[in-house]
Structure 1
Amino acid sequence: MAVRNTLFPNGQRSVLLLDDAGEPVQVVNDYLRHLAARNCSPNTLIAYAHDLQHLWRFLTQQRLEWQEFRVWHTVELLGYLRSVRIPLSPRRRSIAEALTIDGRAMAQLAPATVNRILAAVSSFYDFAILSAQLDSANPLEKTLDHQQQRVTSRHRPFMDGASRQRPLRRRVSVKTVDRLPRPMSDEQIDALFAELHCQRDRAILRLMLDGGLRPGEALGLHLEDVRYGQRRIMVRYRNDHPKGVRAKSRFERVVDLHDPTTLEIVNMYVMTERPNDGDSPFVFLVGGAGRRRLEPPGYPALFKLFIRACERAKIREPWVTPHSLRHTHATRMWEAGMRELTLQKRLGHASPESTRIYTRISDRQVVADYRQALGLDHVEPMSGVPLTT
Structure 2
Amino acid sequence: MRVQKIIVEKKDYPLYLLLDDQYEVVEPVMRFIKYLDNTGKSPNTVKTYCYHLKLFYVFKEQRRISLECINFEELANFVGWLRNPTGNINVVEIQPKEAKREESTVNAILNAVVSFLEYLSRSGEFRTINIFKEVRGRNFKGFLHHINKGKTYKKNILKLRVKKKRLRTLEHSEVKAITNACHTLRDKLIIMLMYEGGLRIGEVLSLRLEDIVTWDNQINITPREESMNGAYIKLRKERVIHVSKELMALYTDYLVHEYCEELDHDYVLIVLKETYYGQPLKYQSVLDLIRRLNKRTGISFTPHMLRHTHATELIRNGWDVTYVQKRLGHAHVQTTLNTYVHLSDQDMKKEFKRYLEGREQK
The TM-score, its normalising length taken from structure 2, stands at 0.87
Cα distance change on mapping 1:268 and 1:156 into 2, 3 Å: farther
Alignment partner of 1:304 is 2:288: yes
The one of 142, 146, 160 aligned to 1:174: 160
Deviations 1:125-172 (A, max 9, x none): 1111122222x21x25433233x543545x669x834998x5322121
Percentage of identical aligned residues: 27
Alignment partner of 1:245 is 2:231: yes
Match of 2:91 in 1: none
Deviation at 1:287, TM superposition (A): 3.1
Q: Work out whether residues 223 and 281 of structure 1, in 8 Å CA contact, stay in contact via their aligned partners in 2.
A: yes
The one of 310, 313, 331 aligned to 2:312: 331
Alignment partner of 1:263 is 2:252: no
CA distance in 2, matches of 1:120, 1:305: 31
Q: Work out whether residues 140 and 172 of structure 1, in 8 Å CA contact, stay in contact via their aligned partners in 2.
A: no
Alignment partner of 1:314 is 2:301: no
Match of 1:21 in 2: 22
Deviation at 1:6, TM superposition (A): 4.1
Cα distance change on mapping 1:368 and 1:85 into 2, 3 Å: farther
Cα distance change on mapping 1:253 and 1:363 into 2, 3 Å: farther
Deviation at 1:279, TM superposition (A): 3.8
Match of 2:341 in 1: 359
Q: CA RMSD in A?
A: 3.0
Alignment partner of 1:127 is 2:93: no
Deviations 1:239-275 (A, max 9, x none): 3221220111333111111x22111000111122111
Deviation at 1:300, TM superposition (A): 0.9
CA distance in 2, matches of 1:85, 1:369: 50
Cα distance change on mapping 1:149 and 1:363 into 2, 3 Å: farther
Alignment partner of 1:142 is 2:125: no
Deviation at 1:306, TM superposition (A): 1.6
Alignment partner of 1:285 is 2:275: no
Deviation at 1:314, TM superposition (A): 1.5
CA distance in 2, matches of 1:279, 1:379: 66
Q: Work out whether residues 43 and 232 of structure 2, in 8 Å CA contact, stay in contact via their aligned partners in 1.
A: no
Higher helix share: 2
Match of 2:93 in 1: none
Deviation at 1:289, TM superposition (A): 3.0
Amino acid at match of 1:24: V
Amino acid at match of 1:333: L
Match of 2:195 in 1: 209
Match of 1:112 in 2: 104
**Aligned residue runs from structure 1 range 54-69, under 5 A:** 54-69=55-70
CA distance in 1, matches of 2:148, 2:59: 42
Deviation at 1:39, TM superposition (A): 2.4
Amino acid at match of 2:110: L
Cα distance change on mapping 1:143 and 1:370 into 2, 3 Å: farther
Q: Work out whether residues 13 and 227 of structure 2, in 8 Å CA contact, stay in contact via their aligned partners in 1.
A: no
CA distance in 1, matches of 2:185, 2:194: 14
CA distance in 2, matches of 1:124, 1:24: 16
CA distance in 2, matches of 1:285, 1:29: 34
Match of 1:222 in 2: 208
SS in structure 2 of the partner of residue 125 of structure 1:
helix
Q: Work out whether residues 44 and 232 of structure 2, in 8 Å CA contact, stay in contact via their aligned partners in 1.
A: no
CA distance in 1, matches of 2:82, 2:234: 28
Amino acid at match of 2:134: L
Deviation at 1:363, TM superposition (A): 10
Q: Work out whether residues 118 and 140 of structure 1, in 8 Å CA contact, stay in contact via their aligned partners in 2.
A: no
CA distance in 2, matches of 1:223, 1:167: 46
Amino acid at match of 2:341: T
SS in structure 1 of the partner of residue 160 of structure 2:
coil
CA distance in 1, matches of 2:264, 2:256: 15
Match of 1:160 in 2: 147
The one of 174, 184, 187 aligned to 2:170: 184
Structure 1 spans left out of the alignment, 5+ residues: 87-96, 100-106, 381-389
Cα distance change on mapping 1:119 and 1:241 into 2, 3 Å: same
Cα distance change on mapping 1:161 and 1:207 into 2, 3 Å: same
Amino acid at match of 2:326: K
Structure 2 spans left out of the alignment, 5+ residues: 88-95
Q: Work out whether residues 209 and 325 of structure 1, in 8 Å CA contact, stay in contact via their aligned partners in 2.
A: yes
Amino acid at match of 2:107: N
